[in-house]
Amino acid sequence: MSRVWTRDRRVVTAGGRQAAMATELDGEEETAAAAGKLTGSPQLSVEDDLREMAKNAAWSVSSYKPGNNVLSLRDDNLDTYWQSDGAQPHLVNIQFQKKVKLQLVILYVDFKLDESYTPSKISIRAGDGFHNLKEIKTVELMKPVGWVHISLSGNDPRETFINTFMLQVAILSNHLNGRDTHIRQIKIYGPRPNPVPLQPFHFTSQEFISYSTIR
């Protein structure tokens, strides 16, 4: 079993998260980090104005090994995982009942436990359905341990969210050229709706908020 290389704490990932473990630094890893590869963080940190969107979505996977099916992706249990059982790319499909605004996809993967089952290249696609999915983001992971945050925003402030019916997380390749993949948890985040209906903007000040609802 080769030594596990992880990042130095000071190095920051593309998503702005830091690795928690400080272990030996390998030169190759540093360049990889500089190349923008993601690694995980033990903390799931999401801004307050975002919330989990996919509770009422329809989740499906391209293939699974019996006993490790799609439920393990949503059970809030980091010990259970989904294991695929087919050809690459492995797909996780999330379909919503109506168009929703999404900002963030977060996966929990663990290289130390899963080694060659850990995804290394992930592509995120969005669209109205299976027929017109378009890739919106591709990320590469480098021996991730923990939560991997993948932001769906573009550079333009107008593109903070994507507005879509369906999201597809495609695992294009795994570490060490593994065939099948393990993913332990996936969460999808989008903006909170305005608690006050029919408003063009959210309220920010205490004066407005305290008069805005009856509880």
Applying CB under 8 A, among 9, 128, 132, 208 the residue interacting with another protein is: 208
Please say which residue, 66 or 157, places its beta carbon nearer to another protein: 157
Q: How many Å apart are CA 86 and CA 73, to the nearest integer?
A: 18
Beta strand residue intervals within 66-141, DSSP E:
82-83, 90-102, 104-110, 119-127, 134-140
Please say which residue, 51 or 179, places its beta carbon nearer to another protein: 51
Applying CB under 8 A, among 103, 118, 168, 181 the residue interacting with another protein is: 103
Cis, bond preceding 89 (omega within 30 deg of 0):
yes
SS3 assignment, position 142: coil
SS3 assignment, position 26: coil
Contact window for another protein (CB under 8 A) among 11-19, 124-132, 142-150, 206-214: 206-214
For residues 138-177, which are near another protein according to CB under 8 A?
156-161
Applying CB under 8 A, among 2, 27, 56, 131 the residue interacting with another protein is: 56
Alpha-carbon distance values, 77 to 81, 160, 183 (Å): 8, 29, 11
CA diameter of the chain: 61
Taking the complex as a whole, how short is the minimal distance between the CB of residue 154 and another protein, in angstroms?
Answer: 11
* Run of H or E including 182: strand 182-183
Structure tokens at 83: 């294991």
Q: How many Å apart are CA 125 and CA 2, to the nearest integer?
A: 34
Taking the complex as a whole, how short is the minimal distance between the CB of residue 209 and another protein, in angstroms?
Answer: 8
- Please tell me whether residue 214 binds another protein under the rule CB under 8 A: yes
- Please tell me whether residue 200 binds another protein under the rule CB under 8 A: yes
Please say which residue, 130 or 208, places its beta carbon nearer to another protein: 208
Contact window for another protein (CB under 8 A) among 27-35, 108-116, 170-178, 191-199: 191-199
Residue ranges that bind another protein, judged by CB under 8 A: 47-51, 55-56, 101, 103, 156-161, 191-193, 195, 197-215
